[in-house]
Amino acid sequence: MAGTVRIQRTVVVANPPMGLHLRPATAFAKLARGLKCHVTLIHGDRRADGRSAFDLLGLLAPPGTELVLEVEGEDADIAIEPLCDILTCEGDSTDTPSPLR
Q: Which residues bind other proteins (CB under 8 A)?
A: 17-23, 25-27, 29-30, 33, 49, 51-55, 57-58, 60-62, 95-96, 98-101
Secondary structure of 13-63 in HEC code, one letter for each residue: CCCCCCCCCHHHHHHHHHHHHCCCCEEEEEECCEEEECCCHHHHHCCCCCC
**CB 90 → other proteins: shortest distance, Å?**
16
**CB 48 → other proteins: shortest distance, Å?**
9
Which CB sits closer to other proteins, 5 or 27?
A: 27
Which CB sits closer to other proteins, 54 or 77?
A: 54
Which CB sits closer to other proteins, 2 or 100?
A: 100
**CB 94 → other proteins: shortest distance, Å?**
10
CA torsion, ordered 81, 6, 45, 48, to nearest 10 deg = 60
**CB 9 → other proteins: shortest distance, Å?**
22
Whether omega before 17 lies within 30 degrees of 0, making that bond cis, reads yes
Q: Taking Cα atoms as reference points, which of 64, 85, 57, 66 lies closest to residue 14?
A: 64
